[in-house]
Structure 1
Amino acid sequence: MDTMKAYVLDGIGDLNLRRVPKPIPGKDEVLLRVIACGVCGSDIPRIYEKGTYRFPTIPGHEFAGIVEEIGANVDPGLLGRMAAVFPLIPCRCCSSCEIGDYATCTSYDYKGSRSDGAFAEYVCVPAWNLIVAPDGISGEELAMAEPAAVAFHALRRGRLEIGDRVLISGAGPIGLMLAQWARAGGASRVLLADVDDRKLDFAKANGFTDVINPASSDVKAWVSELTGAGVDLAVEGAGHPSSWENCLRAARPGGRVVLMGNPAGPMGLSQNGYWEMLRKQLTVVGTWNSDYAEMPKNEWKLAVGAMAEGKIQVRPLITHPVSLDDLRDAIAVMRDRSEFCNKVMWTISKGV
């Protein structure tokens, strides 16, 4: 039996690198040789606190690879092609799937949490989930397609318009991609807030100079000074109550607020925060995942195309490219925050 190296989550906090059977593609699947897989912020609680939906599981849902084998029903032209992978596998039976709204499928599978993902040398995925790479894009950039599509979806939910002033609360990888998308979409000003000065310094190094640390400065006063009435659109990307409230306070009357940060705990709102929504008649919307269907709704194809054309730059956001063998140590660095990380990614270019 052919085997491969993979990180197997055997229980909460019990992540082990070992050899496991190499998967075999089903009739509608391809076998992908993984060339890069990013570590999402959600992977940290998934590995160390909450667990996956079953054990054992191979985590990893931000990935790209090369098609090495195909199932009986798959186009042979995919062999040898590099592709990103939409990790959600819809049930195709629920009311959401009937209208192509796969992100809100009620009975979905998901690579890296509900079934085996790409902290491994190989993974099997349905051919339908592949976004074949255009010319001029690397495997590492392709592996950033998932967070890039999520960020793009959030701004579409917020109805970004040319000339908008935008506040992004949370300056991690998706926050910086939100900032890039906002600028590319015609925002007149992009502001970033985060309680970690290292993230703000990194944002400035990547061209975003309007930054603030809410732990030491008043966000509403700062935004008012820079914009006058407030921002047209605020995106909450930190998953923290104070971040949500800062977005409400920073928004202008009649403005929009998008909630996208995964909450680390209860998301309480003060009475004054609630008044902000009422008195300013704010539009507050949620966002989840991304649209993956036929164009023009396929935000993955739009994201991959934008990366290939240089409209957004994701390679500088990868601060910790590592080999598969070194991935567990890099994940621990993220967990412990022992050094600054923006995006940790295992990649074959690091000697696997």
Structure 2
Amino acid sequence: MKANVLHGLGDLRAEEIATPAPGPGEVLLRIGACGVCGSDIPRVFTKGTYRFPTVPGHEFAGRVVALGDGVDPALLHRKAAVFPLLPCRRCPSCEIGEYALCDDYDYMGSRRDGAFAEYIVSPVWNLVLAPDTLGFEELAMTEPAAVAVHALRQAGLDVGDSVFISGAGPIGLMLAYWAKAWGASRILLADVDETKLAFARSLGFADVLNPLQGDAGEWAKARTEGRGADVAIEGAGISASWENCLRAVRKLGRVVLMGNPAGGMALSQDGYWEMLRKQLTVRGTWNSSFAASPRNEWRLVVDSMASGRLDLKPLISHRCSLEDAFEAMRMMRDRTAFFNKVMILPSGGEV
């Protein structure tokens, strides 16, 4: 099969490798689409995967084309998104269904081969089955959409709450979509990249701010009857973004830290005072919940997309083949063009 194989830092090659075979309890999927996550850029260019060679890619969906021993024949030809984390099922976190906090997990696209390829093997347990009415590109966004909804759940978002989101990239915009679907009274988006703010406006989010051109706290108060946002979510992973959230949220408000920092995070004395004097609740969030219903956020995403309540297709800015994927990732790294969600179509999108 064709695959993008990472042989070393910056050495991603489109080449032919052996097609994997499903073992007992596993299926083989032909990949319809795989999104490029922001974390894939340092993984390919600066940070590396846990071993070389590795096929990156963890935001994907496909169709079941072969079954391992013991797998229900009814799964053949079904569409599915795939939870890329393989938990140990033995540690204390796994015992209570908190698989994202597993002490000894495996992970497609970083610790084992992922989905920058035509095919991938997955345990049946990791499948999130979907109706044929959903396209593969939509399904491939299940992973980041589940991460976004998990952050909102950590924030305890309620109907009528106002939400400040720092970072208007793909996850930030997914947060905004979820907040809108959840009944937020106001959605405030902040980013220092004017092209991202323009894109957010084109999607119908009118309340946007460049923090380099205005104080986030005063701006949020002006749009929320002088109080500040009920909830603030940090989605950029930089210190200034964190402080903007602390300033933008109201007294007794909630702040969720979601952004994955590339370097150290620092908090000023003024930022610390914001937490003290407002008596803020500050929480972290990590990955998503894949436990049994009703807490399976992956199932929630797929069902919401299937019902039309969540439409993420407008977030896709670029589509490319496996052969063009490395060039697309260089574009993302160097920011030579505006992008939001970049989608790799290993089989041309048709499976």
Pick the TM interval, shorter chain.
Answer: over 0.9
Conservation of the 8 A alpha-carbon contact between 1:167 and 1:192: yes
8 A Cα contact 1:323 1:351, kept in partner: no
Q: Which of residues 337, 340, 345 in structure 1 aligns to 2:338? A: 340
**Structure 2 residue aligned with 1:71, among 65, 68, 86?**
68
Count of aligned positions? 349
Tell me what 1:93 maps to.
Answer: 90
Structure 2 letter corresponding to 1:72: D
- Whether the 8 Å CA contact 2:320–2:328 is kept in 1: the answer is yes
TM-score computed with the length of structure 2 as normaliser: 0.98
What CA distance in whole angstroms lies between the structure 2 residues aligned with 1:86 and 1:350?
A: 20
Cα displacement string for residues 117-164 of structure 1 (whole angstroms, at most 9, x for unaligned residues): 000001111110000112421111000000010000000000000110
Aligned partner of 2:189 in structure 1 is 192
Give the alignment partner of residue 20 of structure 1, picking from 2, 6, 17: 17
What residue in structure 1 maps to residue 287 of structure 2?
A: 289
Alpha-carbon separation, structure 1, partners of 2:91 and 2:162: 38
Q: Secondary structure at the match of 2:80?
A: strand
Q: CA deviation at 1:73?
A: 1.8
Q: Cα deviation per residue 1:168-215 (whole Å; 9 max; x = unaligned)?
A: 000011100100100111100000000100000000000101000111
Q: Percent identity?
A: 64
Deviates more, 1:213-222 or 1:107-116: 213-222
- Cα contact 1:173–1:343 (8 A) shared by 2: yes
Q: Distance in 2 between matches of 1:65 and 1:350?
A: 10
Which residue number corresponds to residue 127 of structure 2?
130
Residue 350 of structure 1: how far off its partner (Å): 5.7
SS of 1:21 mapped into structure 2: coil
Distance 1:301 1:56 in 2: 32
1:39 corresponding residue in structure 2 = 36
Aligned counterparts of 1:225 and 1:12: Cα–Cα separation in 2: 46
SS at match of 1:312: coil
Deviations 1:296-330 (A, max 9, x none): 01000000111111111111101101122211111
In structure 1, which of residues 251, 254, 279 is the aligned counterpart of residue 252 of structure 2?
Answer: 254
Is residue 120 of structure 1 aligned with residue 148 of structure 2?
A: no
Which amino acid in 2 is paired with 1:89?
L
Shift of 1:218: 1.1
C-alpha distance 351-325 of structure 1, shift in aligned 2 (>3 A)? farther
Counterparts of 1:52 and 1:349, CA distance in 2? 26
> 1:54: which partner in 2?
51
Contact 1:322/1:350, CA 8 A, preserved across alignment: no
CA distance in 1, matches of 2:171, 2:97: 25
Kept in 2, the 8 Å contact 1:323–1:350? The answer is no
Q: Which has the higher contact order (CA 8 A, sep 6+)?
A: 2
Say if 2:165 is the partner of 1:168.
yes
Deviation for aligned residue 1:351: 8.1
Q: Structure 1: any 5+ residue segments left out of the alignment?
A: none
User: Is the contact between residue 175 and residue 237 of structure 1 (CA under 8 Å) also seen in structure 2?
Assistant: yes
User: In 2, are the aligned partners of 1:67 and 1:78 still within 8 Å (CA)?
Assistant: yes
Could you tell me how far 1:216 is from its partner in structure 2? 1.7
Between the aligned partners of 1:270 and 1:134, the Cα distance in structure 2 is 49
Superposition CA RMSD, Å:
1.1
C-alpha distance in 2 between matches for 1:293 and 1:26: 24
The 8 Å contact of residues 321 and 350 in structure 1, kept in 2 or not, is answered as: no
Q: Which residue of 2 aligns with 1:217?
A: 214
Q: Which amino acid aligns with 1:86?
A: F
CA distance in 1, matches of 2:212, 2:58: 32
Matched residue type, 1:69: A
List alignment gaps of at least 5 residues for structure 2: none
Query: In the alignment, what sits opposite 1:278?
Result: 276
Corresponding residue number in structure 1 for 2:301 = 303
Q: Spell out, residue by residue over 1:46-95, the C-alpha distance to the aligned partner (whole angstroms, 9 max, x if none).
A: 11011001111100000000111111021111111110000000000100
Structure 1 runs of 4+ aligned residues shifted over 2 Å read: 348-352
In 2, Cα distance between the equivalents of 1:271 and 1:315? 42
* Letter of the structure 1 residue corresponding to residue 261 of structure 2: P
Map of 1:152-163 to 2, 5 A cutoff? 152-163=149-160
- 2:322 aligned residue (321, 324, 338): 324
Output the amino acid matched with 1:221: E
